[in-house]
Amino acid sequence: MAFVLGGCAPQEEGAPADPNRLLKIAVVPKGTMHVFWKSIHAGAKQGEAECPNVRITWQGPVKEDDRESQISLVEAFIQKRVDGIVLAPLDDKALVAPVRAAGEAGIPVVIIDSDLADTDAYVSFVATDNYQGGVLGARRLAELLGANGGKAILLRYQVGSASTENREKGFLDEIAKHANVEVISSDQYAGATVETAMTAAQALLTKYGEGQVDGIFCPNESSAYGMLRALTSSGRAGKIKYVGFDASDRLVEALEKGHIHGLVVQNPVRMGREGVKTMVAHLRGKQVEKRIDTGVVVVTPENLKDPEIDTLVHPALE
């Protein structure tokens, strides 16, 4: 492994970078509304605190479908001549050109959360194994449906989001191994907000009435909460086996109530922290891994109170 843990430590004598020079690092998330991104921010601040002579600037779009805003932010940070950019691209293709432009300007980019179509354009990718997250979601849903199986729905997130597209692929590939589970809908999209997700979920629940759907999977926080609200308003929460992705207080509360039966949970605090520390290590002349996996687990009512799980689902955001 090339990544050097403790990459914030001062360089050895003769190293090309000055460890005493202040490094200005921009951290650009996909959005700023959801708990997931607040957790990323908390981790990025931890990374800043653990590395001497580092200052981060956190700025991202409000909503996760505002490609133009995110592109403009990256271009603005290039103009400001920051030392490095840590970016969660909300579109794997639309952000390629800005990331390449940063590299051409001598500003390295570390990608977090969601991959970019051009893997040569960045220094490192720090994220969950999203495909495996989808696989774990499918296994949990199949386990819940049991020997009798049933009919399942996948409510996708949005086109161009590489992280959720990989989760969706992992889910579909794995659920296809369970002959007793039939996926009856996998072509509907939740969109970037809880409100659009709830609208899409309501349409699905109207189309597939009582007794016509046995299991549901949603691949991120906003789609999961939108679906939960639709299930609750229709009186079907808890009656349909439901696996979501990511953790917020409302999703964890629903897990405790039995309205959600599993949550595939990432470690966004670690993702934010390692994203910043990886950039610092690179800027200070150290080798870093091209791919850093920050982990993913399934949270159930049975393991919810485990100390490690509790830390994941109740991150310290300050």
CATH code of the domain in which 262 resides: 3.40.50.2300
- 222 and 235 in a single domain? The answer is yes
Confidence at 63, pLDDT banded by 50, 70, 90: confident
pLDDT score of 13: 38
Residue range(s) defining the domain that contains residue 277: 23-128+267-293
Residues 267-276 have a mean pLDDT of 97
Among 229, 247, 266, the domain boundary falls at: 266
pLDDT at res. 15: 45
**pLDDT for position 290:** 98
165 occurs within a structural domain: yes
Q: What are the phi and psi torsion angles at 275 (to 5°)? A: -60, -45
Task: Give the integer Cα–Cα distance in Å for 262 and 274.
Answer: 27
Supply the pLDDT for residue 112: 98
Residue 123 near residue 108 (C-beta atoms within 8 A): yes
With a cut of 60, say whether residue 39 has pLDDT above it.
yes
Q: What percent of the chain has pLDDT over 70?
A: 95
In this structure, the answer to whether residues 59 and 111 fall within a common structural domain is: yes
Number of helices and strands in the chain (H, E)? 10, 12
Q: What is the mean pLDDT of residues 288-292?
A: 98
- Residue (of 126, 86, 120, 87) closest to 104 by Cα position: 120
Strand, helix or coil at 118? coil
Predicted model pTM: 0.88
Q: Do residues 144 and 216 both lie within one domain?
A: yes
Token pair recorded at residue 41: 């921010």
Helix, strand, or coil here: 211? coil
Residue 143 lies in a domain: yes
CB contact set of 208 (below 8 Å; sequence gap of 6+): 151, 153, 184, 185
The CA-atom distances, in angstroms, between 243 and each of 190, 270, 282 are: 15, 23, 38
How many structural domains does the chain have? 2
Same domain, 208 and 228: yes
Q: Which residues pair with 245 in a beta bridge?
A: 264
Residues pairing with 24 in the sheet = 55
**pLDDT digits over 107-150, tens only?**
999 999 999 999 999 999 999 999 999 999 999 999 999 999 99
Rounded Cα gap, residues 242 and 232, in angstroms: 12
